[in-house]
Structure 1
């Protein structure tokens, strides 16, 4: 099919960026041009240039529009901030209320049906929208609160968990024993590699642990593996599932952003409720136990826990340079643990830290022989169960990670991570990872 770049001007249509009609018309013209082109990998140089010009033009308009009208749009979508919409609900509502601002449900369904290399990159447009909302002084904090509310799935499962003390999900097994919520990562075939299902199950489990008044604290540990290389051994987490990233199944909204704004932020701050005058957040102490390794997202997890125990033969790494993506909020958090030099070595240079080396002790509170992990866990949980621990961890977290600073970081992360997952280098790298074992 032959298409000419002249079908869309290099500069966006004239008109004020506040005019929704101008935005909708520019988006329609860009979509018409893209629809007339082959899938991205099959485009020739001229077609790539035409697509790039069209996308740059409409994305500039969307950026300007969000800079001018983020608060207005958010108030419209949330009825003056009286409704709490999660990020997935928010982008869908925006697609209906403001045509051309974000991709439609149909466009996103088409994107989800493609491999990462074949996608148009429409999640970048979601990133532009969410960056604008998270930057806004009133909308941003409200959206963060919305993401701290318990999920409907957790509320449905809460009576079952309160009664039985057990909930088994695909990626996480949750058990309550003696006031401790034990969250066991149980993706035994893929070394607990993360995907959208793991994020769904982890947020559900964190919500249940926080909402159940019988739970005083939570512990996260990896279960025993059936994977050939680690059969019968516990593994903490291998990070993002690169096979699924290559196949197009690691979404921006439902994985990369939900993970940071959802269960990880709930571990730090608690779950948001309409409860006591003392606090609208229910928070509890959390501990992690690392067996074998904590890679990528697994290492990011360690940065939100109150106590981290590691087996002496385990290691920690953030292979961001190797994968080409941003390691969640690690760029925001890691420096305060390790200092700037080690943080750069780990994030930019891919340095791996053995649990028993000195620099790792900034991330790990205790290192014990593998055979001593169970006893060490029980002893550490007992120490974390003091009456004043909860109030003090709340104040430490507030001092170290104020919500406004976290919101500013996540605003920029929303766009920069979207750009990275569609970078040519990332698509090439995850394509090679995707061809190998998980």
Structure 2
């Protein structure tokens, strides 16, 4: 792959005339280059095993993705392919435009005035993400970006059923460690798709042909996150791509990557730039929690509101972002803060390192202990 990634990718995409998503690219690679990556059947058989019992076939997928993303032409084309709307989103778009609402299972989408409100509603598991929630979030982000009646996107956690938080909103507990221990967190469908899919679409928009394509190939909109309770791990990673973050005064933020043992997506790329190197290391390597009420939280959130005032703060935040000038300026800010080439090369290394980490003994031991306890964050 180090020597032939561009040529391999050209074969798979017919000279970059086809825009294949991650899963389709790996499946075709298995057919066109036998032995390069596992076949779909091999991956399906391995997916049925607990993480500690798997054969580690996804490491070959990580090596393959590292090669493609490291190649400048192929990697850029793949990143662009992942910015295109999913077939599921296109199939549900008319329904959303007609009714202003979608129930995607783990995510509810509701249009209210200029805003599309995406509510994560895995109330029994504190919005801990799994493969399905990544699928639902990408669908929701796509329809919000594609609906011309929507000018601002809002992401918030719903009301919980979990005994410790019943009746309260929670943003996200991060990756679902029980699902990871059970072997149901996919490198392709979760760990890579999450970063190259809906999170990158929040930053860059959705890539489609549209009336202003000459100005920008993507449809972009500003995004706001509202944090109730806590944003841990993947939940904290999400906040780093939003244009405005509002947190309840009793909420806290954490990115305990070293504690969990895995690489926190593109959090390592973004947190230091936003909050500084020292705070980034304290959170990622040392597990430091940042409470919304402490001064350092101002490096991570734009506004702190009393819990009872969160709805009003969200409404004011939407009004603040609802401006064509915001769209143009966020584009220029993101070009400076999230250079495409830097993101691509980071994701290349992430694909390799994460594919290895999820099979390391220390990670398997930690996730097995966490999932056995099934304890909620305190």
- Give the shorter-chain TM-score range: over 0.9
| 1:198 maps onto 2:115 in alignment | no
| 1:186 maps onto 2:124 in alignment | no
- Counterpart for residue 247 of structure 1: 182
For the aligned residues, what is the CA RMSD?
0.7
In 1, distance between residues paired with 2:209 and 2:62? 29
**Any residues of structure 2 matched to 1:23-38 within 5 Å, and which?**
none
- Counterpart for residue 229 of structure 2: 292
Choose the corresponding residue for 1:381, options 314, 318, 321: 318
Deviations 1:198-251 (A, max 9, x none): 000000000000000000010000000010000000000000000000000001
Choose the corresponding residue for 2:332, options 395, 401, 404: 395
| 1:357 maps onto 2:302 in alignment | no
CA contact (8 A) 2:114 2:322 kept: no
| 1:148 maps onto 2:83 in alignment | yes
Q: Secondary structure at the match of 2:347?
A: helix
In 2, distance between residues paired with 1:386 and 1:162? 21
For residue 274 of structure 1, report the CA deviation from its aligned partner.
Answer: 2.5
Structure of higher CA gyration radius: 1
Q: Following superposition, which runs of at least 4 residues in structure 1 exceed 2 angstroms of deviation?
A: none
- Counterpart for residue 367 of structure 2: 430
Is there any run of 5+ residues in structure 1 with no aligned partner, and where?
1-65
Greater relative contact order (Cα < 8 A, sep 6+):
2
Q: Secondary structure at the match of 1:138?
A: helix
- Counterpart for residue 311 of structure 1: 248
Q: Secondary structure at the match of 1:422?
A: coil
**Any residues of structure 2 matched to 1:25-424 within 5 Å, and which?**
66-275=1-210, 276-424=213-361
In 2, distance between residues paired with 1:380 and 1:112? 42
CA contact (8 A) 2:204 2:218 kept: yes
In 2, distance between residues paired with 1:166 and 1:274? 24
In 2, distance between residues paired with 1:345 and 1:410? 23
Q: Secondary structure at the match of 2:293?
A: coil
Q: Secondary structure at the match of 1:435?
A: helix
Q: Secondary structure at the match of 1:175?
A: strand
In 2, distance between residues paired with 1:297 and 1:315? 14
In 2, distance between residues paired with 1:68 and 1:298? 37
For residue 193 of structure 1, report the CA deviation from its aligned partner.
Answer: 0.4
For residue 436 of structure 1, report the CA deviation from its aligned partner.
Answer: 2.1
In 1, distance between residues paired with 2:362 and 2:294? 32
Q: Secondary structure at the match of 2:356?
A: helix
